[in-house]
Amino acid sequence: MAGIEFDHAQRVWLLSTQTTSYGIRLTPHDRLVNIYWGPRIHLADAVHVVFTVAPSRIRTAETGGDGVEELPVEGELRYGQPSLSVRFGDQVRGIEWTFQGAETRREGNRSELELRFADRTYPLEVTLHYRVYEDGDIIERWTELRHTASASEDGAPETAEPIDVLQAHSASWAIPFRDDYRISHLHGHWGGETQLSRVPLAPASTFAIGSRTGITSHHANPWFAVDDGTAGEEHGEVWSGALAWSGSWRFHAQRFANGRASVSGGFGQDGFRVWKLHAGEIFETPVFAGVYSAAGFGAASRAWHTYQLRHIVPKAKQLRPVLYNSWEATFFDINEENQTQLAELAAEMGVELFVMDDGWFGQRINDRAGLGDWVTNPDRFPKGLAPLISAVHDRGMQFGIWVEPEMVNPDSDLYRDHPDWVYHFPTRKRSESRNQLVLNLGRPDVAEWMYEWLHDLLANNAIDYVKWDMNRPFSEPGWPEEADNPERLWIDHVRNLYSVLDRLRRAHPGVAIESCAGGGGRVDFGILARTDMVWTSDNTDGFDRLKIQEGFTQVYAPRVMSAWVTDSPDHINKRRSSLRWRFHSAMAGLLGIGGDLTKWTDAERTEAKELIAQYKRIRPVVQHGLLYRLRPPSAGDLSAVEYVHRDGSEVVVIAWQHSQQFGTVKPPLRLRGLDPLGRYRNPDTGEVWTGALLQNHGVPLVLRGDFDSCLIHLVRELDR
């Protein structure tokens, strides 16, 4: 059974999940080090490790703790990148800590461990938190800092002065010793998010990734995976981690001179103080979760997906409806009449959720004005939103609406009334992006204003879904009114965002929320704990999406991956592709449609209706099943994914042929995750295959020409 065990004599804790174990030890000098992370072992095995591992030799500029400490602090003989760095009131930096105690508790299917340390001289307490679950292999870690001086002492002793927190990572993950190391990460840009990269981690080097934008960002994502350079999709050892934070963040992967490697990470960014910790204050970092896989990157992904569906995403068991979004059909030229017309066409095709995008409020006739004035435009909707919402509901669909609460146009009533509500420095210009400025959500009055108008919008209208957008990163990150600690905005913006979302979900539990940030600019476990899905990318080209989705699913589940079918040629590459190809690309996640339905032919709408019906039949498998990436888009001119229902009853395979040369025919596609003795029927053809044949020989693919695709649905026959 999963849980936490302790050996008092050797001060060893063993955290065990379903199939893995994680061992840590408190040394005689009160340094907390990792001694094991891998397949499941017994506590006696972990204790045995203490006696069999030779102590590291300490040389100049090295320490025996390099690459193994659970949270390397600045101070003493440490020369690597610290995970925790503070400066006290007398300008002394670094920490000398002593162990104060441990507490283990169990609640339901999870177990938690707290290890408390305190500085020898200054009023700082550091608590390391660990949590494991019985129903998975994820280990959650985070750190808590406490200024232990009393806040009522009015600064009488010098030790009651604030403590500058210069860096506060959530955790450092020690990677077991291997001959070599390779790190996988996600990079990209607007329209090309979550591009997968695997690079060697060079000896005696530091590999850093992160975001300085105030949001998770398009160009990097807070996830990593480390292997020895030989792991593949379904073989080899992989150690992986992901941070639950939606603001600026950073990871440092280090390979030390002693051959060890570690990855440390948390919120914040270089060049900025993270926090000023006042007497009596507690400061908590976000969760940094980790997982070990003995069966490659695919198994690690499936562990992450399972974790999200069971412990992160709200109402994850619910099937997400097929969505239509009107943005690319009308852009800012929006009104009750054309939205009703689009809703009629969408309903005829089988769409279940109609979403009206930007342009319904204020003087929002383009992207230069009106943002921040969240009142329905009376010229476009003379009787408010109610008639359109009723028309949508009458056609059997849910109604959704687009908002961008964290932004404001300078040309708006809100900005004219509250120019102090945006991030700014008094002596610097206010840089606009997309004609927008960023509201200072760190301010309590801005956060309250935001909650109130959103609450009123949902309370006064029968809205079922909100698309929450955020189209630009921070600039001029000043908070003139906060003289004591203006840099707290990097933390408080995200915390208040979370608070507003949490309050809205409590007040309106039936409303679903999608996170969007100019595409995939805010995708992480922190935002996923408060939203039902995320917008993967503004790039809806079916071919480009295959690579974006390959990287996305390394850590994030198909159940949260919004994907649209839009018009051909697409607006990014002007690439032409068939409607079926575009549908099959989007059916690999949460199916949505975003084209101008008024320009689709009768034949296209009929084909779309059939494909939507097909998706509804397979979506329990796609949204909740186990994903196998059979062939990545970079593997040649064929890519394919497979979904297996968690009870083994159904299988869905989607394959895309990028190009065909010299009339060649693709070989059978070998499947994974099946019962070799099971029999699987294709309802469309009546063919029956054994699991052994499907896995060892493969299923034939009928693909012809460039940009052709196919979907195969197999149902397991009941054993006789």
Q: Report the DSSP pairing between strands 626-631 and 590-593.
A: unpaired
The structure tokens 């998706």 sit at 615
Other CB atoms within a 10 A radius of the CB of residue 429 amount to 9
Contacts of 108 (CB under 8 A, 6+ apart): none
Using alpha carbons, list the distances in angstroms from residue 670 to 132, 301, 642: 35, 20, 10
Contact 283/311 with Cβ under 8 angstroms? Answer: no
Written as six digits, the tokens of 626 are 């186990």
What helix, strand, coil percent values describe the chain, rounded to 5? 25, 30, 45
Contact 491/482 with Cβ under 8 angstroms? Answer: no
Rg of the chain over all Cα atoms, to the nearest angstrom = 27
Contact 564/297 with Cβ under 8 angstroms? Answer: no
513-540 core/surface letters (b: 16 or more CB in 10 A; e: else): bbbbbbbbbbbbbbbbbbbbbbbbbbbb
The structure tokens 């309590």 sit at 444
Closest CA to 274 of 163, 147, 190, 359: 163
Q: Is the dihedral of CA 258, 259, 260, 262 positive or negative?
A: positive
Closest CA to 109 of 310, 313, 317, 315: 310
Residue type, 569: P
Contact 503/456 with Cβ under 8 angstroms? Answer: no
Could you give the maximum distance between any two Cα atoms of the chain, in Å? 85
Residue type, 695: Q
- Crossing angle, helix 579-586 and helix 602-624, to 10 degrees? 20
Hey, which residues are catalytic here?
469, 538
**CA distance linking residue 5 with residue 349, whole number of Å:** 56
Closest CA to 435 of 363, 387, 507: 363
What's the residue count for the chain?
720
Using alpha carbons, list the distances in angstroms from residue 636 to 196, 626, 659: 16, 24, 9
Residue type, 23: G
Using alpha carbons only, what angle is made at residue 404 by residues 447 and 375, rounded to the nearest 5 degrees?
85
Contact 149/157 with Cβ under 8 angstroms? Answer: yes
**CA distance linking residue 237 with residue 231, whole number of Å:** 6
Contact 520/536 with Cβ under 8 angstroms? Answer: yes
Contact 409/361 with Cβ under 8 angstroms? Answer: no
φ and ψ at 140, to 5 degrees? Answer: -100, 135
Closest CA to 231 of 174, 184, 195: 184
Residue type, 177: F
**CA distance linking residue 574 with residue 353, whole number of Å:** 28
Other CB atoms within a 10 A radius of the CB of residue 501 amount to 23
**CA distance linking residue 37 with residue 659, whole number of Å:** 43
**CA distance linking residue 39 with residue 49, whole number of Å:** 14
